Amino acid sequence: MINVGLYYKVKKGHEEEFERTFNQVMQMLKTSSSGIKDVKLYQDVNDKQQYMIFTEWESLESFKNFIASRPFKETTDYGKSILEDTPKNRIFMNETSI
């Protein structure tokens, strides 16, 4: 299992649109066999344009397959119109203890 943080800065006035799109994409992912286990959207309390999507995946391969998928590409292409900066991702690897 891995966790991935996806960080976004949304253009002012597009916060609700970003949240709506997030909900649509996550609904699609949760009903598919993408390998996603959980997802949460966080908004910075000091800067309402800053978001983090925190995801839990079955494996690094599942996440890589997702970012290579057509729906991800379509969403990122659309996102260019409402984001201020290039999104940043951070992968958190979980170690299993025996």
User: In the structure, what pLDDT confidence band is assigned to residue 97 with cuts at 50, 70 and 90?
Assistant: very low
Phi, psi of 57 (to 5 degrees): -120, 155
What global pTM score does this model have?
A: 0.84
The per-residue pLDDT for range 58-80, each reduced to its tens digit, is 999 999 998 898 878 888 888 88
C-alpha–C-alpha distance, residues 60 and 2, integer Å: 6
What class does CATH assign to 2-93? alpha beta
C-alpha–C-alpha distance, residues 37 and 14, integer Å: 27
Q: Per-residue pLDDT for 47 more than 90?
A: yes
C-alpha–C-alpha distance, residues 43 and 35, integer Å: 24
The per-residue pLDDT for range 15-27, each reduced to its tens digit, is 999 999 999 888 8
